[in-house]
Structure 1
């Protein structure tokens, strides 16, 4: 087990977005979180990555309590995430966008940057090498010199993967990675997630494309109105009556 939540709860005023959720993220596997719109999935991700502080409960990473740590400290531990909307520096090249990702692992300061010290030059090369390595991994070297604003939606999704990978993570949280792309492109990104796991990176994703999730995920948790209603393998989830009523057969919007 890589990460664990215990009785994790988040309230916004009178609304409980996540309620008393226990969940474990299995190391070296594809873990998925599904549920209808408004079920609390993105809020749950925000609690795990430190963007939100829980109202109650705890988050553990490798047995260490990280509940109150800020996002940058959690990222340094090896936790990366992408967002539903990919925010890139549109005017910069794809390569420059990804170089930014590895800055998390460097120690140069403003002084180093202004005077272009030996340390700065060494780290700049390290960031560039890392960016090249992850762009090759996500199969984007052919567009690395293009402006990020001019590439396709599917390529932007791959840049988001590359940005997360540039931080040298142990676990990557992907928030609806295949939203807005066609079935063929979806398959390509599913293969990329499997490739990440083969490289030893744990994946946890939120997704609405049920066919893909059922084929891809080793373990699935289902949220509904902020509560965990089921957890298990694809087969267990597909045959779970509570899930069928709440989501799969309930006409919920995807």
Structure 2
């Protein structure tokens, strides 16, 4: 689904991502791991159009998206979440999600000023898509609660729902289980499996190794911006370079 070729990003003299090549396989859970500062989030920012690449290429479903803007990448079907879940806390959970499907609408300023039929129909569709996404992530019961009043785990699920409302094909999840307890982590892992079962492709960054090793089909390992390993969880767990740079001997023995 996604092919990365010699992807490089420089910030002045700092090379955050250095000539990384990999593929993200359709219908699979792909994971990216590595120590803090390894370039994982920058890698996501390059794929989603937040930062322009210094070198290399990104090809999504046969189309070169290396130089596209964030909104253009999103319209092609690439959605993402962020490490910090930022919502409109004074708005309801449902209202936070309505904006997601706006990516697929055509109404403009004149539609708003004139209150056109198209605007009203698209508003209704956005609300329906938001409710569908909330139901999918198991939060239909809190649609009218203020986003500022929900738990961290519910915020994570809301972020998933917001991404789903854009109707993505590929979902990039940046530390989806960050800040939640072990039981909630299991629930989020089950939700990711549910997404894949419904036809989505997932790529996630995560530090919780038990979750990654049980969830991922393939793992890419970054260290200091470079790829040091790639393979199945078993292959990565046994790789001496990965053990030395990140996992430690306790994971190798697991």
Q: Return the offset for 1:181.
A: 0.4
Q: Tell me by how many angstroms 1:114 deviates.
A: 2.2
Structure 2 equivalent of residue 159 of structure 1: 158
Structure 1 residue ranges (4+ consecutive) displaced by more than 4 angstroms after TM superposition: none
- Cα separation, 1, equivalents of 2:110 and 2:179: 42
**Structure 1 residue 44: Cα displacement:** 0.3
**Are positions 1:226 and 2:225 aligned together?**
yes
- TM-score normalised over the length of structure 2: 0.97
**What is the CA distance between 1:35 and its match in structure 2?**
0.1
Partner of 1:243: 242
1:228 CA drift (Å): 0.2
Task: Write the distance in 2 (CA, Å) between the matches of 1:31 and 1:125.
Answer: 34
Map 1:107-122 to 2 at 5 A: 107-122=106-121
Q: CA deviation at 1:169?
A: 0.1
| 1:146-185 matches, cutoff 5 A | 146-185=145-184
Aligned length: 250
Question: In the TM superposition, what whole-angstrom CA distance separates every residue of 1:125-178 from its partner, at most 9, and x where no partner exists?
Answer: 100110010100000011100000000000000000000000000000000000
Corresponding position of 2:192: 193
Counterparts of 1:30 and 1:88 in 2: how far apart (Å)? 26
Answer with 112-121 or 156-165: which moved more.
Answer: 112-121
CA distance in 2, matches of 1:17, 1:185: 32
Q: Which runs of 5+ in 2 are unaligned?
A: none
* 2-structure distance, mates of 1:173, 1:243: 23
2:22 is equivalent to residue 41 of structure 1: no
More deviation, 242-251/27-36:
242-251
Matched, 1:14 2:3: no
Q: Deviations over 1:46-103 (max 9, x none)?
A: 0000101011000000111111000000000000000000110000000000011000
Distance in 2 between residues matched to 1:141 and 1:35, nearest whole Å = 35
Q: 1:84-123 to 2 correspondence within 5 Å?
A: 84-123=83-122
* SS of equivalent residue, structure 2 residue 221: strand
Question: Which residue is equivalent to 1:30?
Answer: 29
Q: How far apart, CA to CA, are the structure 2 residues paired with 1:235 and 1:131? A: 38
What is the distance in 1 between the residues matched to 2:93 and 2:58? 34
* 1:50 to 2:46 alignment: no
Distance 1:185 1:208 in 2: 15
Tell me how far apart the structure 2 counterparts of residues 115 and 149 of structure 1 sit (CA, whole Å): 33
Q: Secondary structure at the match of 1:20?
A: strand
Note the alpha carbon deviations across 1:9-67, whole angstroms, 9 max, x for none.
00111110000000100000000000000000000000000101011000000111111
> Matches of 2:143 and 2:119 in 1, distance apart?
23
Give me the whole-angstrom Cα distance separating, in 1, the residues matched to 2:105 and 2:85: 24
Post-superposition Cα deviations, 1:213-232, rounded to whole Å, max 9, x if no partner, equal 00000000000000000000
Shift of 1:115: 2.0
Q: CA separation in 1, counterparts of 2:118 and 2:169? A: 26
TM-score (norm 1): 0.97
